[in-house]
Amino acid sequence: MPQEQKVRQLVRKIVYRTLGISDSGSRRSRPIVSELDIRDLPPGSTFEVPPGAILTPLARQVAMDRSIKLTEGSPAASPTAAKMTGPSPARPSQQGEPIAIGADHGGYAMKQMLIDVLESAGYTVIDCGTDSTDSVDYPDFALAVAQLVSQGKAARGVIIDGAGIGSCMAANKVPGVRAAMCYDQATAHNSREHNNANVLTLGAGLLGDNLARQILETWLKIDFAGGRHARRVDKITEIEKRYLK
């Protein structure tokens, strides 16, 4: 058996076991799209994912790294017969668009670095602090950023603390905010395309500067896909409204 076929069988076994899906002959197998299907495609091309296929996290990451757009294909599409087209341009940076950014002491250095990234891309930066590495409480800065986004004074927000988790929790308490903690380009892409996230949280203790920059740039350039995702985001909003009464 060829080595690649062995790898594909192993990937299928691991994915099915992780998801609790039976791979027996009693039910139709779902196709698996792995990094093997993505890695040799031309950068900037488009890959049609077969309906019902399982896309592995590594496949999504490889697609992000190579700027390959993943789309839902027709029922006849398959991983080995992907339709490829030219690059799909992302939305360019909006000159002057206000972006609020804040951090606690653990995220201060990364905040300063990302401010430079934002300003270089043409954004108007609203710096909500902190202004040093002196110990502070992350909810204060998460709230400051989230309020600006909720009030429409900032188009989007970015918050950095040690792990990104606490700031995400705090920001999501503010009505109208959909904060997402992202740890790679794939989660940044998904949070925007599927969830219409308007606040990004990052963990300075978990990410290096280069990866944080890539996550931010990806998160800023991806637009919300709408469609079926809009219905699901609307349901999130309805849950929020239910508890505001």
Q: Are residues 40 and 110 in the same domain?
A: no
Same-domain pairing of 104 and 205: yes
Indicate whether 142 and 47 sit together in one domain. no
Q: What total of structural domains would you count in the chain?
A: 2
Q: Catalytic: which of 105, 189, 194, 229?
A: 194
Q: Is residue 235 situated within a structural domain?
A: no
189 classed as catalytic: no
pTM above 0.85, yes or no: no
**Co-location of 189 and 156 in the same domain:** yes
Are 65 and 176 found together in one domain?
A: no
Task: State how far the alpha carbon of 42 is from the alpha carbons of 37, 55, 84, 183, in Å.
Answer: 12, 19, 8, 25
* Same domain assignment for residues 217 and 102: yes
Over the stretch 59-76, which tens digit does the pLDDT of each residue have?
787 787 777 888 876 444
Element (H, E) at 131: none
Full residue range of the structural domain in which residue 14 is found: 3-81
Using the predicted structure, report yes or no on whether residue 26 has a pLDDT greater than 50: no
> What single DSSP character describes residue 27?
S
**CA–CA gap between residue 83 and residue 65 (Å, rounded):** 19
**Tens of pLDDT along 150-199?**
999 999 999 999 999 999 999 999 999 999 999 999 999 999 999 999 99
